[in-house]
Amino acid sequence: MVFVDEGAPDPATTGRLEPVDDDEIAAMLTHAARHGGGGDRLDSLTSLAGMEPKVALARTPDGWARVRGGAPSTHILKLSRPETSPTRDLIDTEAAALDLARRVGLTGVEARIERFGELRAIVVERYDRVAEAGAVRRVHQEDLAQALGLSTADPDRKFQRGRALPSYAAAAGVLTDGGATPDPLLRLATFTVLIGNTDAHAKNHSFVRHADGARVELAPAYDVSMHEHTGVSSGLLALDVAGRRAIAEVTVDDLVAVGASWGLTPARARRVVTQTVEATAAALADVERSVHPGVSEKAWAQVERRVEQLGT
């Protein structure tokens, strides 16, 4: 959805695309890195607004294009962190985590690592775009902060940090109020713990609204990554699970209790959690790790340990 002034033309009719080459994309990413506000936080795993240098582009049959005049983008390009950073593998583990999420059935989002000049970036397909009749259409989505009316002008408001909001319970409420079941949210919460994703905050959970404006469904998983293996991870969840903030302390029983608090029967909640753990274990066995050379054995091993822990 795009808001325009009353009487203004529909961006779908005025938007235009400007072709760009790899060097121009590299320049755009460099500019984003200089002006994105990351500064000395690039070694941190606490997500802050504007911290990740990124640009939005459209992929056409002829290559990449800059979007102008309200034209919809189709992909997000996020710059790799510096080689000297302890979190330099963040885009690599994001691509790997999305690979696992696709195998588990949590997303259809495709992601890959590409080079633009001397720069490395992850290229992520937007889930909120649909190609039809030779054009790209936006899909109405809103993230959890928007759904709850939370202002994230203070970036810390994306995180629960012991507060009532945002929370998984509130996210489940958005789903049930919109006529959906919270099962997919419980699967995503379980996967978040399994891969060691401590950045699953309110801006990284979204909902797709149907044309009637009332019915909703959980959006595909996006912006997921592995964090626990780094030496700078806080080890704290962005959203609490059964009152627990430390990701290492979360158990299957905690996840089951969370699902039950949303209205699922304990048996159904346990089935959802158990199936997600088993599906993630199978995905770990099946994923072609050579496709993700930037992901260390330490990162893979941490996910394996967490899967084993919750699978026993």
Whether residue 166 has a cis bond before it, omega within 30° of 0: yes
Hey, where are the domains in the chain? Answer: 11-129, 140-311
Tell me, what's the pLDDT at 8? 61
Nearest to 219 by CA among 136, 277, 139: 139
Question: What is the tens place of the pLDDT at every residue in 39-80?
Answer: 434 344 433 334 578 999 999 999 999 999 989 999 999 999
Q: Average pLDDT for consecutive 10-residue bins of the chain (312 residues)?
A: 61 82 96 67 39 87 94 96 93 98 98 97 97 89 97 94 97 97 98 97 96 92 96 94 97 98 98 98 98 98 97 87
Q: Which long-range contacts (CB under 8 A, 24 or more apart) does 252-256 make?
A: 252/277, 252/310, 255/186, 255/189, 255/190, 255/193, 255/310
End-to-end CA distance of the chain: 44
Please state the φ and ψ torsions of residue 109, each to the nearest 5 degrees: -65, 130
Determine the pLDDT at residue 44: 40
Residue 191 is predicted with a pLDDT of: 98
pLDDT digits (tens, 9 = 90+) for 170-192: 999 999 999 999 999 999 999 99
pLDDT of 45 reads 43
What is the Cα–Cα distance from 283 to 104, expressed in whole angstroms?
A: 7
Q: Tell me, what's the pLDDT at 42?
A: 38
**What per-residue confidence (pLDDT) applies to 41?**
40
pTM over 0.75: yes
Phi-psi sector, 151: left (phi>0), alpha (psi -120 to 50), beta: beta
Residue 15 · residue 152 · CB < 8 Å: no
**Which pLDDT score, from 0 to 100, does residue 48 have?**
33
Q: Which two tokens stand for residue 257?
A: 């209790």
CB neighbours of 21 closer than 8 A, spacing ≥ 6? 63, 64
pLDDT at 35: 77
Query: How far is residue 82's CA from residue 34's CA, in Å, rounded to a whole number?
Result: 13
**3-class DSSP state for residue 134?**
coil
- Structure tokens, 281: 């274990």
